[in-house]
Amino acid sequence: MPSWPLNQWYIAAYSSEIEEGLLGRTICDEPLVFYRTSEGEVVGLADRCVHRRYPLSLSHLKDDQIICGYHGFTYDKSGSCVAAPAQKRIPRAARVPSFPVHEQDSFVWVWIGDSDLADTALIPRAPWLDSPDYTVVRGREPIQGRYGLLVDNLMDLSHETYLHGGYIGTPEVAETPITTEVDEEANVVYVSRHMDDAECPPFYANSTGIGGRIIRWQDVEYHAPCLYLLHSRIAPAGVLPPEDGPDDKAFHVEVTYGITPETEHSTHDFWMVARDFALGDEKVTEYLATNNHTVVMQDVVALNILEEVVEGEKENYQELSINIDTGGLAARRILKKLIAAGEAPSAAPAAAPAVAGTV
């Protein structure tokens, strides 16, 4: 039984990664191959030729068909084998599984589970990633660790003070109490940390130009299992959002993560920073890209170490949870519930009200 929920949408790639050619990527232990047809549609197929298992991602794309790089079995975009060398009749079984994919908000999402249950309305949104009102920097890092470690990491931002001191961490992050909410039906965990008089970390001082103390709000919205949003509001101390009208005296940064399991012990860490200020300013873009990459790598290094530790200790390891873990514990429980729902024989889409059973 996998440690991630089935019958869920996962971020497989950025749209920009799938242009020409074939992209091979393992998502939830499924080796997949992606490409874009001449019509612009993204196709996701199992990345193993039915003949002798050669990876299709290492093969050739021609006229929207994949020609296996080993003996030339040819597959159309539905995964059906349409030609094989010197063969008059193609066996019916000659097809590779096709996976539902959907492009939205600059992502390519893939459905892992029963294809009949794939409903694109279930995909959570991050519209700023594809909006002219924001400038976005992004990257993707492999983590040699289970995806749950990244969920734990992102749900508790008090670690910023210690792991990311001098970048995004200041004393107030770890010192400010949090408020946690869980929507049992939507499978969303929300964690707010509102610092009304805080030091401005270099990351924000250098990108916004604010000198002096700030109001810093961090509102985490985790849409289990894959999409993590951190709505960050930075304003000079004393500047609250107006009663009505746009909050244009503040700087807004939408820190977004795609948390996609690759295998039981590795994870795709998709990270993005979208800002609503200094739009198109190359220097700010460069600064945020470089610094956020540094911050992401500080987490990656720590999580790679933790994977070795927890794997070495197997089931016997003990943890101690304190108040800062309230959101992380909620996220773990939602994932557990989704895993159980995904395993159920006639699994319904996990966001359906039937799962919660609280009405």
Partner 1 sequence: MAEPHTPVRADLPPPSRMLTGRTVYRVVWKLNTDVLVGYCWCGVPHEATDPIELWDWLLAHPDTHGPGDAPDGGTPPVGSDSAVRELVKS
The one of ligand FES, Fe ion, partner 1, none whose footprint includes residue 54, by CB under 5 to 8 A per kind, is ligand FES
Which of 213, 231 has the CB closer to partner 1? 231
User: Vertex 13, ends 217 and 228: CA angle to 5°?
Assistant: 20
Contact region for ligand FES (CB under 6 A) — 35-43, 66-74, 196-204, 293-301? Answer: 66-74
Name the H helices within the chain: 147-155, 160-163, 171-175, 202-208, 282-313, 326-343
State in angstroms the smallest separation of the CB of 157 from Fe ion: 7
State in angstroms the smallest separation of the CB of 198 from Fe ion: 17
Answer yes or no: are the C-beta atoms of 138 and 270 closer than 8 Å.
yes
Counting contacts by CB under 6 A, is residue 68 touching ligand FES?
yes
Of residues 286 through 305, those in contact with Fe ion by CB under 5 A are: 299
Which of 33, 220 has the CB closer to partner 1? 220
The one of Fe ion, partner 1, ligand FES, none whose footprint includes residue 140, by CB under 5 to 8 A per kind, is none
Counting contacts by CB under 6 A, is residue 73 touching ligand FES?
yes
Mapping DSSP onto H, E and C, the string for 196-216 reads: EEECCCHHHHHHHCCCCCEEE
CA distance linking residue 211 with residue 277, whole number of Å: 16
Answer yes or no: are the C-beta atoms of 108 and 101 closer than 8 Å.
yes
State in angstroms the smallest separation of the CB of 94 from ligand FES: 10
In single-letter form, the type of residue at position 193 comes to: R
State in angstroms the smallest separation of the CB of 297 from partner 1: 27
Which of 50, 355 has the CB closer to partner 1? 355
Residue 340 burial (CB count, 10 A): 14
Question: Residue of minimal CB distance from Fe ion?
Answer: 299
46 bridge partner residues: 32
Q: What residue ranges bind partner 1 (CB under 8 A)?
A: 125, 127-128, 131, 177-186, 188, 190, 192, 194, 217, 219, 221, 229, 231, 233, 252, 321-323, 325-326, 329-330, 333, 356, 358-359
Q: For ligand FES, which residue of 52, 125, 249, 336 counts as binding (CB under 6 A)?
A: 52
The contacts of residue 121 (CB under 8 Å, 6+ apart) are none
Cα–Cα separations (whole angstroms), residue 230 to 85, 217, 281, 333: 52, 10, 22, 20
State in angstroms the smallest separation of the CB of 195 from partner 1: 10
Answer yes or no: are the C-beta atoms of 61 and 83 closer than 8 Å.
no
The one of partner 1, Fe ion, ligand FES, none whose footprint includes residue 299, by CB under 5 to 8 A per kind, is Fe ion
Angle between helices 282-313 and 147-155 (to 10 degrees): 120
143 three-class SS: strand
State which H helix or E strand residue 230 sits in.
strand 227-236
The one of ligand FES, Fe ion, partner 1, none whose footprint includes residue 72, by CB under 5 to 8 A per kind, is ligand FES
In single-letter form, the type of residue at position 141 comes to: E
State in angstroms the smallest separation of the CB of 64 from partner 1: 31
Q: For ligand FES, which residue of 15, 26, 70, 90 counts as binding (CB under 6 A)?
A: 70
The one of Fe ion, ligand FES, partner 1, none whose footprint includes residue 277, by CB under 5 to 8 A per kind, is none
Cis omega (within 30 of 0) on the bond before 349? no
Which of 70, 190 has the CB closer to ligand FES? 70
CA distance linking residue 281 with residue 339, whole number of Å: 43
Binding-site ranges for ligand FES (CB under 6 A):
49, 51-52, 54, 68, 70-73
